[in-house]
Structure formats: structure tokens, C-alpha cells
Structure 1
Amino acid sequence: MILSDSIVALSSGRLPAGIAVIRISGPKTRFVVEAIAGGMVKERAAAYRKLIATDGSVIDHGVVLFFPGPGSFTGEDVAEFQVHGGRAVAAKMLETIAGFEGVRHAEPGEFTRRAFLNGRLDLVETEALADLVNAETEAQRRFAVRNAEGAQSELYAEWRRRLIHARAMIEAEIDFAEEDDVPGSVSDAVWSDVRALIGEIDRHVDGFRAAEIIRDGFEVVILGAPNAGKSSLFNALAKREAAIVTDEPGTTRDLLEVVLDLEGMRVWVTDTAGLRAAPGKVEAIGIEKARAKAGGADLLLLLEDMALPVDPGAVPSDAPLLRIGAKADLVAGELLVDRAKLYDVVISIRTGTGLSDLLAEVGRRAAASVGEIGDVLPSRLRHVELLKDANDHLRTALAGHERGQELRAEELRLASDRLGRITGAVDVEDMLDVIFSQFCIGK
């Protein structure tokens, strides 16, 4: 796709910085390089040049790179100017470049959108690129890199090829049943493969929860009776005084959250109000919030004061549970040994006992919840919705013996259409603005 205008943006991080990268893409790129750098530079090679404004003044001295289309990120001619990362330098470069006729400032995600429109990326790879830019943990990075390299797209493309082949065989059987080169009664083989494909898609969709945990985080909720040591543990994990700690029951009344990086996983830890019967009116609201939060948790940490155990009542969730014996420094001797047997982990915030063991166990469970990071998983809810829609059409085709082969073939077409929409192999104009608006300007 040939676009008439060129776009420019700051593609590096927040200024000031050591270096600012100004990127331009489009048909005016070569002209801009020649005008600012005093002549053309060698393709795909860094050149150190004096950078000149239109009035002849020197903007800066910097590195210029030129990537001719279609072998560039966007598929168009692309250039990058690497200059000193002061705000004034970057602003002058952007002002100068955008001052040329046919060049304008880029919208969010417009470089990546052009890469998609020019066939350099499909939609799944585009979304994976957004995930890579936003990755904060090792698990997120690895997951995004695998999808950006095309693993997810290849899976959907292979499923779509199988459906197109199945549809071709069914339609050939309908139209050319008398021809010698059309296999006799291909239906059994086709519908057997469709049945297998339904199972493959179902298993793939089941992996979406693991993908959500990688992208959004593993939810850990701390529960327990008042004064069990929940807020003290929360502060120890946060490594700061994030929660108020007092001897007065009911101090914590709202949800407090902190994000940890454990075993390369993003882990959300939430401190909650103490669970007890007959609380005050305000405290009751906090307890209700705690119960609601626990209902959506991936792991519960149920704390109990080992010196003065108090039963918090029924645990408001079916999530996996770790029983934590807190305040171990207040118990000694045989009593400590006996009571320690009641818990999965024994800790003392005051002495630091057991905290590393607790963090290791939470990290292990977080990593186990997503399986192998190398598994191909649906990375977006829209993927899941389209996959389920495709499977609905496949099930209709599989069950439609009495409807005739023509209608069953149409269901196969609709299913392959849904798979194509995931990668953008068929018309997806209605969702492009939503997808690319998630990117920062300059990407």
C-alpha cells in the first residue's frame, strides 16, 4: 500500500535522555535525509553527520540511518536520526522535519499500522509487539517475543488452511462427483479432521487463563482474622510502610495492592480487612470487599497468629490456599514445633524468618499456573471470541447431516473467516483503530 504522506515522531523514551531517536517513514524520507544530513547516506549503515535546519543553522551532530522500502519496519522508506536527548534538540528536529511539505506528525501506533497495511506484520504479531513494548517481567517478555515471531499466527494460519482444504474437498465432491480425479467420498476424512480441529481449538482456548496471568498478573490475596499480621506481611513484601499497622482490630478497611516480580512473573498481592463476625458498619464494608477480592484470586494466603490463634471463619473462595503461621517469634520450644505442623509456611516479620520461603512458594505457584511459557496461547479476548465463534460454526457443520453438503461447506467458510479475522487475513477495518490506539506515539 502506497501512502502519499510521510510521518515523523520521537521514537525513544522520555526526555531528557542520553539519546533521542527521531523516526520518519514515507515517500518524503529520502528527501528529508538529503536536506537535513547534507546528502544521502549509505543504506543500512550508520553515518555521523552535521544536521542542518532549513534556515542553514546547525541543529546538532548525530547519527543517521536509512532503510529503503520494502525491506524496512513499515515497508516504506524509513530513516532514523539519533541526536542528543535534550528537549530543545528533539523539538527542533521534529519542527524541521514536519515543516517539509508532505510530512506530518505521526498518530499513536501509526508506524506499526503502516507495517500491517504493507504486509510486514499481521494483527497477532502487531498485538504481540504492543505486549513486548509494555512487558515488565521476564514471562511477559518471553510470551510477547514468541508471538511476535509468529508462533501464534502460524497456528491460526495452519488451522485456516485445513478448513479451506476441507471446504474445497466437500465442494469438489458436490460439483465433480463423476470426475476421476476427485477422490470418492472424501466426507469421512474431512469431517474426521473437523472433529479433531474442534478439540484442538477448545484446548487452545482453555489456555487463555494462563495468558491472562502472564499479561495481567497472578492474583494473591492475604486473608485472616484481625491482628493476624496481614498488614505487617504486606509491608514486608512491599518493602515499605504501605499499610497502617496497629494493635487495634479493624485498622485495615480497604484493599491495598502491591506488584511483585517473582520467578519472572507479575504477582499482585492484596491486603484485606480482617475477617470476623459482628464487625462495625464501616468495617463490614471492608470485609465484604475482602471476600469479593478473594473470590477472584489465584492464591490465598490465610494468616493466623501462632501465639493467639483466632478462627477467621469460612474461607470465601475455592482458590488454592497457603496456611501461614505468623508471629513465630512469639512462640518458642515444643509449642512452636507443634503449632508449626498446622501451617504450610511459618513466618516472623520481626526476625524475617520464613519470608524467603513464602516468596519462593508463591513464585513457584505463579510460574506453575501458566505452564510452559513457550506454549502457544490466545493472547487477547478477541482471539478467544473469534475462536469460539469458529468452533460454533464447525460444530454446526459437523452436526448438519440433514442440511446438505452445501450448507455444511458454508459453515466451514464462516469458520475459516473467523480464523482469518484474528490475523487480519480477511477484512478487519472496523477494529484497526482500536488495536493501534493502544500504541505510543512513535511506534
Structure 2
Amino acid sequence: MRAGDTIMALSSGSLPAGVAVIRLSGPQVGTALTAIAGGIPQPRRLTLRPIGAAQRLDEGLVAFFPAPNSFTGEDCAELQVHGSPAGVRAIMALLNSLGLRLAEAGEFTRRAFENGKLDLVAVEGLGDLLEAETERQRQQALARYDGRLTEKIDLWRDTLLDLRAEIEARLDFSDEGDVSDDLPAHWFSQLDDLQISIGQALSSFESGRIVREGIRVALAGPPNSGKSSLLNALSRSDLAIVSDEAGTTRDVREVGLDIGGQLFVLLDLAGLRDTDSKAEAEGVRRAKQAINTADIVLWLQAPDVDALPRPETKGLLLTIGTKMDLATSQGVDIGVSTQTETGLQALREKLAVLGQDLAGGEPALVSHERDRQALQEALAALEACRSTVGDWELAAESLRGASAALERLIGRIDAERVLDRLFASFCIGK
């Protein structure tokens, strides 16, 4: 990534397509538009122009967004042309001959960050929005991208400045009589309120993570209890191999499923049993590990398979009686049959209700591991400050540590170490 270059990228879908959108950003955008579109159009208005220089290549809509009022903060433009592979290649070859280069992954968004148009929290929200597969993911990502978490962080930082001002006044003017050694009562109230507010935000991390990553549902039980058949029935596909032979499933298969606007990740696991096969034994080990970490475990019992004791798990556990077309299982939460589709809708509805409980009501703003670490660091620093009140240098340093943790979260300091990894996950043209 080279600063000062003018970059270009195809930002729309794969070709051929009805319309292709070519984005430009950088100091040479105006020169490029003059060369290929006959001049710079009126800012922020789509204008129909022939596209080409000595030779007409296409005709399309041209939009110009002058700095600093653009997505990247630089001069930007979009060419909306016909989605012909040959046409797009010719236009981009012409732009390249004018000195523009192809953008790297995420380079438009990175320039927006470096030019102060987005902070790191909003950038992550944009990344989540681009990858959103369900309605809940879209809502949560958009709330983050719109700056709702940043607003909270700004309020916390303002409060920290007020708290630090009282402490540092005692450091700087301790020899003057008009500065008391005792902190005012409202200082402690502010500290309490700040800790409560950050703690409440931190408590929403698990629900935010679940929405962003999906609710992990382990389909577990003995061999031939119907795990792969249930996976296929719920996903309405034939993704998993179904066989009467025990031990067919030997690895963890993951399938994403949208239920009620929430992403569920179904895990088809190896059947639990003792085995001499090293490959199957590894599958059983992975199955047990998945059960221990799943948000929901569907424990399957079939009438033609010997039952096993229900496993210990940190997540919710539902006992599912399978193969109800053969016989009715006793002591189960829901009975299903993949042959007759009995109980499948009831199971989907139950999962939707559990998903609502796990994901919470309003979109959670704290959903990334970086968020959790930063807020935990800030809370630890505030607690350290409380315990060192009276030793003004230590108290001030603790408050500065809390501020630094929040500033790292939004990318004001130490941002470089996360930028390359973050923007590499973005598509070209974004």
C-alpha cells in the first residue's frame, strides 16, 4: 500500500453483469475523469458520459466526490458502465495507462480510516456488514458502523478526562492552598457510574459474539442415532452422508442455517462410542470437544440404538427423540422423524426461541474479542485507580491506562498492529 497513489477497483459483482461499478480514489481522479469522460462532472451528481479517450470504449454514468467529503477523504469517482468483461478490462487498462493502479484488499476503507473518515470500530462494523448473512447480523453490524459504540467510548473518555483533571490538579498544584487533598464526593460517583457503564457494555459481549459468529448447535449422540439425517433435514440439503454403517461421520461438519433471522451453525459430530479405529477415535475426541463448547447441544436418542447418558455441557441441552416413524422415545424434549418430517417445524421454532434468548433484544455493540480485551483492561485500570487514591501519581497513571485501552479500541493509538490483518479480510474495491 503506497500513500499518494491513485487507486482503482471493480467494486461490483463478478462479470458479466448488467452494471459494473469502477471506483477511483486519489489525487489524480480529476485528471483521469478529464481524460476518459470529457471532464469532471458536477460533484455528487450522476452524469451520462461517453467513456474513452481517442477511442470510445463505452457509455455510462459518472459521479465525482471531491475531497474531503468522500468515503476515503480523497477525491473519489465512480464509473457505472455496462458489465461486459471486455469493456471493463479496456476501461481499467486505459486508467492504468494514466497512472492509476489496482487497489489492494481493503485499501479504500483503510484510506478512509487513515484520513479520519472512519475509526477502527466503524471499520470493523463495515466488515461485519459486508459479511452479514442474517437480519440480526445486519442490524448489529450497522449499529456498530453507524458509530453507536464510538459514541459510548467518547462519553467514557470525556468522563476519564474529568477524573484525571481532579487527580492531576493535586499533582501539579499540591503546594497551593486552594487545592484540597480530598477528592470531591462527585468524583467517586463519576468513577462508580463509569465502571457500571463499561461493565454493562462488557456484559453484552457474549450475545454480540453469538450474533456475529452464529449460535453453535452440536448434534450429538451414539452412532446411528440420526445426526446426519437431522442435519440434512434441517438444512434441506444432502450435505451429510447418511449410512447404516456406524462410524460414517468422523469429523465435525459445520452448516450455517438462518432461523428467524439468526445464524445457527449446525455441527454434525461423530457418534460417541469406544473404538479401536484411530481415525474414528479422533472424531469422537473432536465431538466431545464440540459438545463442551457448543451454545446448544441436541442430544439425539433413537429407539433402535442403545441410549447413552446425557453429556455435561456449558451450553443448553435438548434431548431429541429421532426416528419417530419407528417408535416413540420416552423422556425427550422434542420427537422428530426425518422420514415423515414430524417434529421438524417444532424443533426449528424451539431453536428460534432459544436463539432470541441467547442473542438478546437490542443489537449488542460489543461483539469482537478486541472489544472484550479493551473493556476488561479499562475496568482493571479503574479498579487500580480506586485502590491507589491518595497516591496521586499511581492513580493518574491508572486513569491514563484506562484511556489508552479505549483509544486502542477505536484506533487512536497502536492501530497499526491490527490494520493489516483487518483490511486483508476486505474485498478488493472496498
**Which residue in 2 is equivalent to 1:436?**
423
Aligned to 2:341: 352
Deviations 1:248-290 (A, max 9, x none): 3333232222111111111111112222356655433322221
- Asked if 1:270 is matched to 2:267, the reply is yes
> Residues 95-114 of structure 1: matches in 2 within 5 Å?
95-101=93-99, 103-114=100-111
Alignment partners' CA distance in 2, 1:314 and 1:417:
47
Matched residue, 1:66: 64
Aligned residue for 1:350, secondary structure, equals: coil
1:195–1:398 contact (8 Å) kept in structure 2 = no
Q: 2:199 aligned to 202, 209, 228, which one?
A: 202
Q: Within 2, Cα distance between the matches of 1:387 and 1:31?
A: 46
* CA offset digits 1:172-211 (Å, max 9, x no partner): 2443468798688435432342243233323322322222
Contact kept in structure 1, 2:208 and 2:364, CA below 8 Å: no
| CA positional deviation for 1:164 | 1.1
The CA distance in 1 between the partners of 2:115 and 2:73, in whole Å, is 6
Contact 1:7/1:104, CA 8 A, preserved across alignment? yes
Q: Residue 39 and residue 193 in structure 1: after superposition, are their counterparts in 2 closer, same or farther (change >3 A)? A: same
Which whole-Å CA distance do the structure 1 matches of 2:275 and 2:38 have between them? 79
Aligned twin of 1:420: 407
Structure 1 counterpart of 2:397: 410
TM-score, L = length of structure 1: 0.90
On the 8 A contact 1:276/1:312 being kept in 2, the answer is no
Q: What is the aligned partner in structure 2 of residue 44 from structure 1?
A: 44
What amino acid maps onto 1:33 in structure 2?
L
Q: What is the CA–CA distance in structure 1 between the aligned matches of 2:332 and 2:98, rounded to whole Å?
A: 70
Q: 1:369 maps to what in 2?
A: 358
Query: Deviation of residue 310 (structure 1)?
Result: 2.2
Query: 1:296 offset after TM fit, Å?
Result: 0.8
- Partner residue, 2:74: 76
Deviation at 1:108, TM superposition (A): 1.5
> Aligned residue for 1:19?
19
Name the amino acid aligned to 1:43.
P
Contact 1:276 1:313 (8 Å CA) reproduced: no
Partners of 2:244 and 2:421 in 1: CA distance: 50
Tell me how far 1:385 sits from its aligned partner: 1.8
Worse-matched range after superposition: 143-152 or 310-319: 310-319
Moved more, 59-68 or 422-431: 422-431
- Taking the aligned partners of 2:231 and 2:102, their CA distance within structure 1 comes to 45
1:95-127 CA deviation, whole Å, 9 max, x = no partner? 1112214x3222211111111122111111111
SS in structure 2 at match of 1:20: strand
Query: TM-score, normalised on structure 2?
Result: 0.93
Mapped to 1, the partners of 2:253 and 2:417 lie a distance apart of 39
Please give the per-residue CA displacement for 1:386-410, whole angstroms capped at 9, x wherever unaligned: 22222222222111146x1122112
SS state at 1:329 partner: coil
Shift of 1:314: 4.3
The aligned amino acid for 2:353 is R
CA contact (8 A) 1:173 1:185 kept: no
CA distance in 1, matches of 2:267, 2:48: 52
Provide the C-alpha distance between the structure 2 equivalents of 1:429 and 1:282, rounded to a whole number of angstroms: 43
Q: Are residues 344 and 280 of structure 1, via their aligned partners in 2, closer, same or farther at CA, if it must alter by over 3 Å?
A: same
User: Could you say which residue in structure 2 is the equivalent of 1:240?
Assistant: 237
Name the SS for the 1:61 alignment partner: strand
Question: How far apart are the structure 2 equivalents of 1:285 and 1:238?
Answer: 26
Within 2, Cα distance between the matches of 1:327 and 1:194? 58
Q: Is the 8 A contact 2:52 2:91 kept in 1?
A: no
Q: Is the 1:275–1:313 contact (alpha carbons within 8 Å) kept by the matching residues of 2? A: no
Query: Which secondary structure does the structure 2 equivalent of 1:412 belong to?
Result: helix
The whole-number CA distance in structure 2 between the counterparts of 1:375 and 1:286 is: 35
In structure 2, do the counterparts of structure 1 residues 189 and 178 end up closer, same or farther at CA, with 3 Å as the change threshold? Answer: farther
| Paired residue type of 2:148 | A
Counterpart AA for 1:267: F
Amino acid at match of 2:395: R
CA contact (8 A) 1:260 1:268 kept: yes
Correspondence for 2:388: 400
CA distance in 2, matches of 1:442, 1:253: 40
How far has the Cα of 1:323 moved from its partner? 1.0
Asked if 1:325 is matched to 2:312, the reply is no
Over the aligned positions, Cα root-mean-square deviation in angstroms equals 2.3
Aligned partner of residue 325 in structure 2, secondary structure: helix
Could you tell me which residue of structure 1 aligns to residue 304 of structure 2? Answer: 308
**Is the 8 Å Cα contact of residues 208 and 365 (structure 2) preserved in structure 1?**
no
Instruction: Report if aligned partners of 1:291, 1:316 keep a CA contact under 8 Å in 2.
Output: no
Q: Distance in 2 between matches of 1:429 and 1:229?
A: 49
Could you say which residue in structure 2 is the equivalent of 1:34? 34
Distance 2:8 2:143 in 1: 29
CA distance, structure 2, for counterparts of residue 414 and residue 406 of structure 1: 12
Give the direction of change, closer, same or farther, for the CA distance of 1:257–1:436 in structure 2 (3 Å limit): closer
What runs of 5+ residues in structure 2 fail to find an aligned partner? none
Deviates more, 1:422-431 or 1:404-413: 422-431
How many correspondences in the alignment? 429
Match of 2:223 in 1: 226
Q: How does 1:166-181 map to 2 (within 5 A)?
A: 166-176=163-173
1:387 aligns with 2:375: yes
Query: Secondary structure of the residue that 1:385 maps to in structure 2?
Result: helix
Q: For the residues of structure 1 that align with 2:19 and 2:319, how far apart are their CA atoms?
A: 50
1:255 to 244, 252, 256: 252
Structure 1 unaligned blocks of 5 or more: none
> Which sits farther off after the overlay, 134-143 or 179-188?
179-188
Check if 1:343 corresponds to 2:332: yes
Q: Which residue of 1 aligns with 2:142?
A: 145
Question: Partner amino acid for 1:390?
Answer: A
CA 316–282 in structure 1, closer or farther in 2 if over 3 Å, else same: farther
Q: Percent identity?
A: 42
